[in-house]
Every structure is written in C-alpha cells, then in structure tokens.
Structure 1
C-alpha cells in the first residue's frame, strides 16, 4: 500500500538548540533506516518550510501508523496522510 505523508514540524520555543539538534540527528538515523528497508520510498523537502512529503510503501494502515509514531519528532509534527493508488495512465 502506498501513502503520501506531508509532515510539518513545529518545535515549542522551550526547546534549546541542543535539544533540537539531537532530534535532527535521531530523525536522520530513523528515516535512513526506513529508506534502506524500502518502507520509505522517497522523501522531498518542501521549499521554504520545515516540512516534507514522504512516500511510504507499507503492508497496512497499522504499519504506517507505527512507523509515523516512531519518528523522534512525532510529538512536534502535524501529519496529513493521503492513500495512493496506481493511476491507469501510469507507464511504471
């Protein structure tokens, strides 16, 4: 099952620069593992925003929920998920 997720990050003003840097390091490691496994099929930055679009290839809604809630920045994310289905005009 393919899903497109828009993830917007908003840290509270109470976090220090060091805490944010720690989140960024852990987030990179977590998403790297997902990309290596193929569960995260792609990730794109949204220009001018602290946000991304990520493409997930997972077995179920529950698996996607588990993956998304595992992101270190999850408590500071707003996530919008769009289920995808193959377009009849797709040549791939």
Structure 2
C-alpha cells in the first residue's frame, strides 16, 4: 500500500544542542535504511519549513505506524497520513 505522509518537526527550544544533533543523526540513518529497503519510496523537503512530504510503500496501516513511531524524531513530530490509490486516468501502469 502506498501512503502520502506529511511530517512537521517541532524541536523544543530548550532541547540541548548535543541531544538534538544525536537524534537527527539517528533519524537520518533510520530513514536512509528505510529508503534503501524500498519502504520509504520518496522524501521531499518543504521549502522554508522543517517538514517533508514522503511516500511510503508498506504492507498495511500497522507497518506504516510501526515505521513512523520508530522514527527518533517521532515525539517531536506532527504527522498527517493519506492512503494512495492509482488514479483511473493514470498512464503509468507500473506504479502500484
């Protein structure tokens, strides 16, 4: 199943710098591992914001929830999820 996910990161202003750097490094490694596996298919930064639009290709809602809740920055995020289906007018038959 494909899911469109918007993630907005809201780091607390009083979070110690060294802790923020460490969490962000773990987040990058985790997200890149998921990208290599094909589960995190696309990630796009939203200009001017600490946010992204992403597309996930996972088995079901449960797997998506497990992936998102495993993000090191999860507790600092506001996340919106929308399931995606192929549009009947799409000319691309190979992207399910």
**Aligned-residue RMSD, C-alpha:** 0.7
Q: Which runs of 5+ in 1 are unaligned?
A: none
Q: Which runs of 5+ in 2 are unaligned?
A: none
Distance 1:46 1:26 in 2: 21
Distance of 1:35 and 1:91 partners within structure 2: 25
Runs of 4+ residues over 6 Å off in structure 1: none
What TM-score comes out, normalization by structure 2 length? Answer: 0.93
Separation in 1, partners of 2:91, 2:17? 46
Structure-1-length-normalised TM-score: 0.97
The corresponding residue for 1:65 is: 65
Deviations 1:45-67 (A, max 9, x none): 00000000110000010000000
Bigger shift: residues 14-23 or 58-67: 14-23
**SS at 2:65's partner residue?**
helix
Number of the residue aligned with 1:34: 34
The total of aligned residue pairs comes to 92
Q: For 1:45 and 1:17, how far apart are their aligned partners in 2?
A: 22
